[in-house]
A and B are shown apart, each in its own frame.
Chain A
Amino acid sequence: MRGLVNYLTKNLVEFFKILRMAGMSFSVSDCITAFKSLEFVEIFNKVQVKAALQACLVKDETGKEIFSKVFDLYFVPPAVRNEYVTNRAETIETLKMEIEESVKSLNFQDTQVELTDEYKEIFAGLPESEKINLESFLNTTSAGKNVRTEFKQLAEGTIKGKLTSLKQKYAQQLIQTRGVLVQDTSEAGIIAAEVSDEILKANDLLHRNIGEINSEDVPAAVRLISELIENLNRELSRKYRKTGKKRRLDFKKTIQSNLSTGTVLFKLKYKNRFHSKSKLFLFCDVSASMLQFSSFVLQFLAGIGKKFTTTESYLFSDNAIRMNNKLYYDLSDFETQVKSSPIWGKGTNIGVSLDGILHNNSVIISSSTVFLIVSDAKTLDYNLAANNLKELSKRVKRVLWLNPVPEKNWTGIKGLEDFTKYCTMLDCSTLERLMVACRRL
Chain B
Amino acid sequence: MNLITLRRSLEAENYIFDEEFLITVHIALKLGKPLLVEGAAGVGKTEVAKVLASALGVELIRLQCYEGLDESKALYEWNYQKQLLSIQAGLASEANLSNLYSKEYLLERPLLKAINSENSNVLLIDEIDKSDEEFEAFLLEVLSDFQVSIPELGTIKAKSRPVVILTSNNTRQLSDALKRRCIYLFLNYPDVEKEIRIINARLPGVPERLAKDAANAVSYLRQNSRIYKKPSVAETLDWVSSLLAMDKNRLDEDGISKTLGLIIKNREDMLEIRKDEGFSELLDKKPR
Contact = CB atoms under 8 A, between A and B. Distances in A.
B121 interface: no
Nearest to B83: A259
Given A54-B20, A219-B226, A234 B87 contact: no
B3 A40 contact: yes
B185 interface: yes
B228 A51 contact: no
B23 A30 contact: no
B23 A48 contact: yes
Contacts of A260: 97, 100
Interface in A36-78: 36-37, 39-41, 47-48, 50-52, 54-56, 58-61, 64
A321 interface: no
B31 A36 contact: yes
A240 B130 CA distance: 12
Nearest to B68: A240
B171 A234 contact: yes
A380 interface: no
Contact of A47 (B3, B19, B38): B19
A238 B135 CA distance: 14
B28 A240 contact: no
A252 B80 contact: yes
A231 interface: yes
Contacts of A41: 3, 23, 26-27
Interface string B221-232: 000011010000
B186 interface: yes
A61 B31 contact: no
B172 interface: yes
Q: SS class of chain A's interface: helix, strand, loop or mixed? A: helix
B257 interface: no
A439 B133 CA distance: 13
A263 B81 CA distance: 12
A240 B27 CA distance: 37
A226 interface: yes
* Chain A, interface residues (CB within 8 Å), range: 35 or more
A140 interface: no
B171 A40 contact: no
Given A55-B184, A239-B67, A260-B100, A223 B80 contact: no
A20 to B, nearest CB: 15
B153 to A, nearest CB: 15
Interface in A228-271: 231, 234-235, 238-240, 242, 252, 255-256, 259-260, 262-263
B27 to A, nearest CB: 5
Contacts of A37: 27, 30-31
Contacts of B80: 252, 255-256, 259
B155 interface: no
A405 B172 CA distance: 25
A235 B83 CA distance: 39
B184 A51 contact: no
Contact of A231 (B38, B67, B78, B172): B172
Contact of A52 (B27, B176, B179, B186): B27
Contacts of A39: 30
Contact of B132 (A240, A256, A259): A240
B286 interface: no
Contact of B100 (A33, A54, A55, A259): A259
B214 to A, nearest CB: 24
A220 interface: yes
A219 B224 CA distance: 11
Contacts of A30: 180
Interface hub of B134, B170, B184, B225 (most chain A Cβ within 10 A): B184
A56 B172 contact: no
B186 A58 contact: yes
B96 interface: no
Contact of A51 (B23, B83, B134, B180): B23
Contacts of B20: 47, 50-51, 54
Given A59-B184, A262-B87, A52 B132 contact: no
A234 B130 CA distance: 10
A360 interface: no
Contact of A239 (B24, B68, B97, B225): B68
A30 B83 CA distance: 46
Contacts of A129: none
Interface string B172-196: 1100100110011110000000000
A40 B27 contact: yes
Contacts of A61: 38, 170, 186
Nearest to B24: A55
Interface of B: 3, 19-20, 22-24, 26-28, 30-31, 33, 38, 67-68, 78, 80, 83-84, 87, 97, 100, 132, 134, 170-173, 176, 179-180, 183-186, 225-226, 228
Given A220-B225, A231-B172, A256-B78, 19 more contacts: A30-B180, A33-B31, A55-B27, A55-B28, A58-B184, A59-B176, A60-B184, A60-B186, A61-B186, A223-B225, A223-B228, A234-B172, A235-B172, A240-B132, A252-B80, A255-B80, A259-B100, A260-B97, A263-B84
23 contacts: A27-B180, A37-B27, A37-B31, A40-B27, A41-B3, A54-B20, A54-B184, A55-B24, A58-B186, A60-B170, A60-B184, A219-B226, A226-B228, A231-B171, A234-B172, A239-B67, A240-B68, A256-B83, A260-B97, A260-B100, A263-B84, A439-B172, A439-B173
What 5 pairs between A and B have smallest CB-CB spacing? A240-B68, A51-B23, A55-B24, A256-B80, A51-B20
